[in-house]
Amino acid sequence: METSIIIAGFGGQGVLFAGQVLAYAAMDAGRHVTWIPSYGPEMRGGTANCTVIISDEPIGAPIVDRPDIAVVLNAPSFEKYEPLVQPGGLLIVNSAIVADQSTRDDIDVLYVPANHIAAELGSVKMLNMVVVGALLGARPVLSLEQIAQSLREHLPSSKQHLLEANIQVLQRGFEEAGTTLAT
């Protein structure tokens, strides 16, 4: 089985790291993976997105035009990626800063107030792990423990003091998926 994921938002929201954590966890689980980052020259405040493909088989091409899952953390990303999600796919929306509602009835949509959850549990900068948890709660392409282990191994040393908090927000995002999935 192959799952394509696009994570998109502003630079500084942890978009690229969220994709890296998924990719590392999938690699450690013996899966085939691609991770392609894309960001503007501004970095913080500019646009950023990454594409992650996780597969049980070798991946033919790393380019994704119509993702199975799109995680959108800001309004411009919603506008760009909401129409591109494959029918039957999943759109995860950071409802803390995206007011738009999807009008599509052929995809699952999960509205997660990621900024609010992350701030409540320690720091808004952990919003990326909230949406990763929500993604796994809605589509278990990997386990929470695999992601937690990836965090243990790949969280930068300057952020190690936030390890347990990141695992906590990951769990909270996972739980959020079970209470707010709208089809």
Please give the pLDDT value at position 160: 85
Sign of CA dihedral 89, 21, 75, 172: positive
What are the b/e assignments for 88-126, b being 16+ CB within 10 Å? ebbbbbbbbbbeeebeeeebbbbbbbbbbbbbebeebbb
Amino acid at position 27, single letter: M
Q: Do 110 and 90 touch, CB atoms closer than 8 A?
A: yes
Please give the pLDDT value at position 111: 97
Please give the pLDDT value at position 183: 41
In order along its 183 residues, the chain shows pLDDT tens digits of 899 999 999 988 999 999 999 999 999 999 999 999 987 665 556 679 999 999 999 999 888 999 999 999 999 999 999 999 999 999 999 999 999 999 999 999 999 999 999 999 988 999 999 999 999 999 999 999 999 999 999 888 888 888 999 999 999 999 999 766 544
Please give the pLDDT value at position 23: 97
Which CATH number characterizes residue 79's domain? 3.40.920.10
- The number of folded domains in the chain is 1
Maximum alpha-carbon separation in the chain:
43
Range of the domain at 13: 2-182
Q: Which residues pair with 108 in a beta bridge?
A: 90
